[in-house]
Amino acid sequence: MVRRCDIPALVLTALTVLLFAPGPGARAQEALPENIEIGLSMDRVAITADFSGADLTIFGALDNADPLISRQGRYDVIVVLEGPARPVVVRRKDRILGMWINTESETFVNVPISYSVATTRALQDITEPKSYRQLALGADNLYLEPLDRSDSPATIEEFAKALRQLKRSTGLYSERIGGVQFLSQNLFRATVSLAPNVPVGTHKARAFLFRNGLFIKETSAQLAIVKSGFEQSIFRVANDYGFLYGIFAVSLAMLTGWLGRLIFRKD
């Protein structure tokens, strides 16, 4: 039971709590998590036959970033430009009777044709390997699904490793440490590589935000890479009128062979 003389003290305590307690707007602002956004200067890149590779710049920003954590440099960003996924066949050659012959092969479905990574720091300095595996982030952590699941895991892993090495040797899989730079506490710029043999199609730019080694947020944007000029016309005709294009290609080959025979025949 509360005595009458204690009521003013209770009222005063309640008013004090109400006056100094944060309002709904302040509580909502404190509860807002960090967010990340990216933007492309262009959503369409046209390449020609003499394309020798280029760098693509992606700009981004952090929303609701903690100023103290930003000043301490404890935010990390990883940006990935992932090419269209297609089936890929990996073959192994063995030397038989003095000749190199394809002996075994493994088919993987939905393999990104290209995969470029840019980071603020070395990957091992950003977070744990387990996080990369969970996010399927990085060329070594991409899940390469085999067409034939009955093959032994050792064989599948062997061909998957060979596929990654082949992609790296051709420049289609690349990694740029320090390719993401903060221009201010909230703004950053990422530079990813476009290989000379970059595939045409829809590419996906993805940005991953980490705070103190913990994954916070991911965002994405799309980029279309197309052929331009005469090459684009041939590419479009070959896709839209495949049968007629095939007849034309065979006829052109026969005509070229006949003309070559006339020009270079010996009397």
> How many folded domains does the chain comprise?
1
Alpha carbons 72 and 61: distance in angstroms, whole number? 17
Q: What is the pLDDT tens value at each position of the chain, 267 positions in all?
A: 444 444 455 444 443 444 445 555 444 445 568 999 999 877 888 888 788 888 999 999 999 999 999 888 899 999 999 999 999 999 887 777 666 666 788 899 989 999 999 999 999 999 999 999 999 999 999 999 998 888 888 889 999 999 999 999 999 999 999 999 999 989 999 999 999 989 889 999 999 999 999 999 999 999 999 887 656 566 666 677 677 778 877 888 888 887 777 777 665
Alpha carbons 36 and 208: distance in angstroms, whole number? 8
Within-domain flag for 89: yes
- Per the CB < 8 A criterion, the answer to whether 120 and 175 are in contact is no
Within-domain flag for 13: no
Within-domain flag for 7: no
Alpha carbons 224 and 56: distance in angstroms, whole number? 12
Query: For position 188, which CATH number holds?
Result: 2.60.40.2550
Q: Looking at residue 96, what is its pLDDT?
A: 72
- Per the CB < 8 A criterion, the answer to whether 171 and 195 are in contact is yes
Q: Which amino acid is residue 116, in one-letter code? A: S
- Per the CB < 8 A criterion, the answer to whether 37 and 219 are in contact is yes
Which residues share a beta bridge with 207? Answer: 79, 219
| Helices 242-264 & 230-240 angle (0-180, nearest 10) | 120
Q: Looking at residue 192, what is its pLDDT?
A: 93
Q: Looking at residue 86, what is its pLDDT?
A: 93
> Token digits for 8?
């003013």
Within-domain flag for 1: no
Within-domain flag for 217: yes
What digits encode the pLDDT tens for the residues 103-133? 788 899 989 999 999 999 999 999 999 999 9
Residue 202 three-state SS: strand
Within-domain flag for 232: no
Within-domain flag for 27: no
> Token digits for 181?
């730079």
Nearest to 126 by CA among 37, 190, 209: 209
Residue 209 three-state SS: strand
What pTM was computed for the model? 0.74
Identify the domain containing residue 220 by its residue range.
32-227
Within-domain flag for 82: yes
What digits encode the pLDDT tens for the residues 65-77? 999 998 888 999 9
